[in-house]
Amino acid sequence: MFRLASGVGFAVDDLRIVEHARSWSESEGVPGYRVVFVRRGLFRLNYRGWDGLVDPLMAYVRLPGDGQRIAHRPAIEDVCTVLTLDEALVTEVMNGPPPIRPLLTNGRIDLAQRSVVARARHHADGFELAERVTRLAEELFRLTDESPTVRRSPAPSHRRLAESAREVLTNNPAWPTFEGLARELGVSRSHLSRVFRAEAGESLTKCRSRLRVRAALDSIEAGDTNLARLATELGFADHAHLTRTMRAELGSPPSWVRALLSPPQLRSHTFKRSSHT
């Protein structure tokens, strides 16, 4: 875990893990409150009685002293943003008890946590970072009032099916057809659609769309400036389709997102066809 920045009441870390074998980590507690956002990859989490996959559409909160166990997929890098918050800040921004299960985040929250990482990397001053972290924490904890945490069905077979679908789409957000996904998972289309919606609280189409936007953010953060190619790689109809989808999910067009997230040396460049964003 690499410390990107710290200030009064907070710290921002970049966590990157590649394991060589699929096995559970040892349970280890933390001294303060931690908020973990999955930026890329997915892994199995066992925490406070909850066991399941977490992916780039999720975040979870670790409480002081509580241990967790994680199982990563072998030889695949998982990347997370970790915010450490002191008790005073948590008390200020939290309306009730902290969530004990992962939260389904939205695009605006995901963009906000990526902007914290980007601004920390670009050496923003402590005042700006403290405000960004505070606003991000407020928005995340507000989700506990507005939407449920990740659901868990009493039927193990339904949980496994929904998790398998999430894993396939996380690995390949450009997965081309719904029929092909059902065939890959060995179930009927109606059963897959019904079970996934019941488990995830959203349709497979919505989940796939949001995962494609997260993948686009990864590429933009890495400096990709060709939106037309990126749209093709992620299965969008064209550049305009990608732009509309990102604007709807994030509240901002790709050109603005690039200015916020991309490495400083690329900021003077423009996206191809950026005048249409």
Domain containing residue 118: CATH number: 2.60.120.280
Other beta carbons within 10 angstroms of residue 68's beta carbon come to 18
Residues 29 and 77 in one domain: yes
Query: Is 99 a domain residue?
Result: yes
Query: Is 262 a domain residue?
Result: yes
What pLDDT, on the 0 to 100 scale, is given for residue 153? Answer: 59
Among the candidates 104, 126, 146, a domain finishes at 146
Query: Is 220 a domain residue?
Result: yes
Calculate mean pLDDT across residues 56-61.
94
What pLDDT, on the 0 to 100 scale, is given for residue 22? Answer: 81
**pLDDT at residue 24 is higher than 60:** yes
Calculate mean pLDDT across residues 221-238.
91
DSSP at 97: S
Query: Is 151 a domain residue?
Result: no
Calculate mean pLDDT across residues 5-34.
90
In what helix (H) or strand (E) does residue 13 lie, and over which residues does it extend? Answer: strand 10-17
pLDDT digits (tens, 9 = 90+) for 263-275: 665 444 433 333 3
Residues 10 and 81 in one domain: yes
What pLDDT, on the 0 to 100 scale, is given for residue 273? Answer: 37
Average pLDDT over the chain, rounded to whole? Answer: 88
Calculate mean pLDDT across residues 239-259.
92
- Which stretch of 19-28, 32-41, 212-221 has the lowest confidence by average pLDDT? 19-28
Other beta carbons within 10 angstroms of residue 248's beta carbon come to 11
Is the distance from CB of 216 to CB of 253 less than 8 angstroms? no
Residues 181 and 65 in one domain: no
CATH of residue 216: 1.10.10.60
**What is the dihedral sign for C-alpha 188, 208, 40, 85?**
negative
Among the candidates 146, 180, 212, a domain finishes at 146
pLDDT digits (tens, 9 = 90+) for 93-117: 987 777 878 999 999 999 999 999 9
Residue 58's nearest CA partner among 243, 247, 234, 202 is 202
pLDDT band at 145 (very low <50, low <70, confident <90, very high): low
Domain that includes residue 215, residue range: 156-276
Other beta carbons within 10 angstroms of residue 97's beta carbon come to 8
What pLDDT, on the 0 to 100 scale, is given for residue 151? Answer: 60
What pLDDT, on the 0 to 100 scale, is given for residue 268? Answer: 41
What pLDDT, on the 0 to 100 scale, is given for residue 154? Answer: 65
Residues 141 and 174 in one domain: no
